[in-house]
Chain A
Amino acid sequence: QKEVEQDPGPLSVPEGAIVSLNCTYSNSAFQYFMWYRQYSRKGPELLMYTYSSGNKEDGRFTAQVDKSSKYISLFIRDSQPSDSATYLCAFLVAGGYNKLIFGAGTRLAVHP
């Protein structure tokens, strides 16, 4: 079983839609949960960072963590064509010397 499972998509939605991106994980030692966005030919850009179960909101983005189910989600409200990118979930073990474990990434296309 992989440590992290993420549906690679691609996911295609119309502008204005609510997007839900998900990852499951198996390592109980993961204590930090992140979402990165990566545009084509660019490096990953941190979107959301949390270390506790529950929801964290930042503008149109909401990150949700359920440690008991080992499941994290990213919701994008009022999606825009500029949101078209690959979204990567990432995990970090506390004291793990910055070794991020990434999901495979979900490609999202938002069409006008």
Chain B
Amino acid sequence: KAGVTQTPRYLIKTRGQQVTLSCSPISGHRSVSWYQQTPGQGLQFLFEYFSETQRNKGNFPGRFSGRQFSNSRSEMNVSTLELGDSALYLCASSSTSQGGIQYFGAGTRLSVL
């Protein structure tokens, strides 16, 4: 079974631009969660989608948004990029039958210049 796939792996953007990151979950997993990882703040929860509905949201500004498609693939978008948005963005998928166990992708490393 293929794991969680995130694209692209690396991105370089400039301040003020917007960016879209993509995540393909493990086949059969309907929940997709997004996290931001930085050296200063560690791993922080952004939001979670299940069957195309956002069920939970972390404490991030509205510039961070996401969506999930009917095939469970998910995208997250960051608008009006700031230098502080430079981070590793991780996607995780889980199955309802596995009680919250989340499997992570390799992440997208975003650098904002």
Contact = CB atoms under 8 A, between A and B. Distances in A.
A42 B88 CA distance: 10
Contacts of B42: 102-105
Interface stretch (B48-56, B66-74, B75-83): B48-56
Nearest to A96: B56
Interface residues of B, dominant DSSP:
strand
B90 interface: yes
B56 A97 contact: yes
Interface residues of B, number: 26
A102 B33 CA distance: 14
A51 to B, nearest CB: 8
A97 B104 contact: no
Interface of A: 32, 34, 36, 41-46, 49, 51, 88, 92, 96-105
